[in-house]
Structure 1
Amino acid sequence: MTQTAIPFLFMRGGTSRGPYLNRADLPEDRDALAEVLTAMVGSGHPLNIDGIGGGAAVTTKVAMLSPSQDDQTDVDYFFAQVSVEDRQVDFRPTCGNILVGVGPAAIEMGLVPATGDLTEVRIRAVNTGARVTAQVRTEAGRVRYDGDVQIDGVPGTAAPVGLMFMDVTGGTTGAMFPTGNRIDVIDGIEVTCIDVAMPMVIARARDFGLTGQESAADLDANRAFYERMEPIRQEAGRLMGMGDVSQSVTPKFGLVAPPVNGGHVLTRYFMPKNCHPSLAVTGSQCLSACLLCPGTVAAGILAPPNHTPVQLRLEHPMGLLDVSMDIETDGENFAVRAAGLTRTARLLARGDVFIPGSVWSRS
């Protein structure tokens, strides 16, 4: 059997990992691209045994990089979420954790030159149109991965990657509150449908008979919760103008509750068929906006801020995630100007990943 070799970097970005590819090395046609990524990851088997996926949604993600078509940014970042088992590829969302590795990957690929001890990489998220500036530690023209920053959900420490997200409001739906309401009632449950960095449907944990303190494994074992949640998510997607979302991972679903471990809010984030083992970077911004905006399902958990940027700590199943939110608020008016986070990334491997020639041949 002939095989097709595709150059790749294998990287951890935040609490996710996957292949980082040059878009020029892949087919232009979207259907052909989906077949290539499905084969690469090994979707269709719970362990992704015939590919390089890791048998979980956070390890079947793909980043595709190219020189930016926007003169205000350096790199275009095109994201794909490949399913673990059902051979589906969703090109609609973006991923903030995988985005953490985009700056280092762009330097490794030669798309952006390293400059001094700190290299700034301006990124355009193709899927949503958001602009992100990444600050990457570099030394002697190369990415520096060693450092003393620790993030919950990843063992050890590494060099920090600073991220500043801009243009995060309404990237998918065109509005922060695409239904026109800050609270909607779906199947008897109050939800906030909100689009900041990631379109989400957010509800109170207590309204599902939960505390919010449940582990990711306990929530995944609670199939009655998913059977109640999924129809609400799908109806919310329709109300948000996203159409039939039954085969899409967006909008994501989130739960909020009062904090218990020193944070500002307790969160659980769903992908949506499983609970995220920690918390998505994009989801953290959306949850933070919901927490700070008056009149949402998260109202009352946090006292209204009297300054900006607001430093928030979000509790998730594996610890805490810090988010800096630059907001405008005046009574009922609310807007997000930017959001900042510090995460880490690491290059795990480089070389060629092989797919069957029957799936795609360059010729």
Structure 2
Amino acid sequence: MAAPDPAAAARDGIRCMLMRGGTSKGAYFLAADLPDDPAERDDLLLRIMGSPDPRQIDGIGGAHPLTSKVAIVSPSTADGIDVDYLFLQVGVDAATVADAQTCGNLLAGIGPFAVERGLVPATGERTTVRIRLLNTGDTATAVFATADGRPDYDGDAAIDGVPGTASAIELEVGGGPEKPLLPTGSATDEIDGHTVTLIDNGMPVALLRADEFGVDGSEPPAALEGDAELAARIDRIRLAAGPLMGLGDVAPQTVPKMILLSPARHGGAISTRAFIPARVHTAIGVLMAASVAAALRIPGAVGSGLAGPLDGDETEIEHPTGSSRSHVHVSRDGDGTWRATSSTMRTARKLFDGTVFPRPRR
């Protein structure tokens, strides 16, 4: 479609649904309601979210990376796929819109949103939606409750980091045979004097031992964010890891995620603190957890020696506000290539559905 005229968009608005997906929150759009040109689209989204501004006071962003997210959904032309999902991370205090990663938390809302917008019909009490993740090329299957032809958001499922309960959404994500789990082919690499595991089980992450950085891994996010020297050391590794993972120059991007690992303290398999990258996640992303869980099952990978006993394919990943359960199946091809698929339970909820009004200009 043609790019909305700034004055017309500000006057007439853009159709938008705000949803909580997992432990994140974002604005969901149909691709047809946004400009085709990426630069025009990004400019519009910055004006909708209220960026750049640390408070995002003149937009609908929540002044934190976990609440400054956008999901764009369209019917898919791929065989066996219902909808395509493009994730965009909108900067809070910077005028940036990054597309190098996907978001497993907002992924939880894609199936319900597709039903809400009439892209996929509800099928009785349970509906299945097949999703292509355009950022990464992965595919996902979402299974969730529906009633009277609409998503049913009420239920008894609880996830740490989200108050109350909601209806469970089962997510299964797989990278396909052409996507190796270890982008460099090695269980560990040396970067800036540290042993690092670079792994991508739906989310590119770099795994590090917390004790190598003078922390024990139990610190609250605010304490880690306030340590400028620590943040600089970790970001140096991130910038070097990007090209090794095939991501190119990641200076303007939000990947790879940098995760400090330490022994579990509350009965889980491992404890995590995830830099995303400037802020520290108050929980952990779905696909970040899946990447951590996969690494624990690879001999010699960072974290494999710290992990408690692993119970089959299920892994409990501890994070600052509780824990997240991730189910991963890891296998190794005859040529030594590691691969993985993952599944997890999330919840999502529609917060509002209507028209959002971007400011006329940035």
- Using the size of structure 2 for normalisation, the TM-score is 0.93
Match of 1:141 in 2: 149
CA drift of 1:334 comes to: 6.0
Say if 2:180 and 2:338, in contact at 8 Å, map to a contact too. Answer: no
Match of 2:4 in 1: none
Q: Distance in 1 between matches of 2:25 and 2:105?
A: 8
Match of 1:336 in 2: 339
- Whichever residue aligns with residue 222 of structure 2, its letter is A
- Whichever residue aligns with residue 252 of structure 2, its letter is Q
- SS across alignment from 1:101: helix
1:283 aligns with 2:285: no
Match of 2:223 in 1: 218
CA drift of 1:266 comes to: 0.6
1:88 aligns with 2:96: yes
Deviates more, 1:321-330 or 1:24-33: 321-330
1:315 aligns with 2:323: no
Match of 1:298 in 2: 303
Match of 1:268 in 2: 273
CA drift of 1:227 comes to: 1.2
Q: How does 1:226-245 map to 2 (within 5 A)?
A: 226-245=231-250
CA drift of 1:114 comes to: 0.8
1:47 aligns with 2:47: no
Match of 2:106 in 1: 98
Say if 1:168 and 1:196, in contact at 8 Å, map to a contact too. Answer: no
Deviations 1:42-97 (A, max 9, x none): 11111101110000000000000100121211010111000101110001110000
Give the gaps of 5 or more residues in structure 1: none
CA drift of 1:240 comes to: 2.3
- Whichever residue aligns with residue 232 of structure 2, its letter is E
- Whichever residue aligns with residue 221 of structure 2, its letter is A
Q: Distance in 2 between matches of 1:215 and 1:333?
A: 38
- SS across alignment from 2:190: strand
1:257 aligns with 2:265: no
Say if 2:180 and 2:339, in contact at 8 Å, map to a contact too. Answer: no
CA drift of 1:304 comes to: 7.8
Q: Distance in 1 between matches of 2:173 and 2:186?
A: 25
- Whichever residue aligns with residue 318 of structure 1, its letter is T
Match of 1:10 in 2: 18
In the comparison of the two structures, how many residue pairs are matched?
A: 354
Q: Distance in 2 between matches of 1:139 and 1:176?
A: 38
Q: Distance in 2 between matches of 1:104 and 1:154?
A: 18
CA drift of 1:252 comes to: 1.2
- 1:124 aligned to which of 123, 126, 132: 132
Q: 1:202 to 1:332 in 2, by over 3 A?
A: farther
Deviations 1:291-333 (A, max 9, x none): 111121112223686x85x111000000010011122258994
CA RMSD in angstroms, aligned pairs only: 1.9
CA drift of 1:356 comes to: 3.7
Give the gaps of 5 or more residues in structure 2: 1-6
Calculate percent identity across the aligned residue pairs. Answer: 42
Match of 2:28 in 1: 20
- 1:163 aligned to which of 160, 166, 171: 171
Say if 2:50 and 2:56, in contact at 8 Å, map to a contact too. Answer: yes
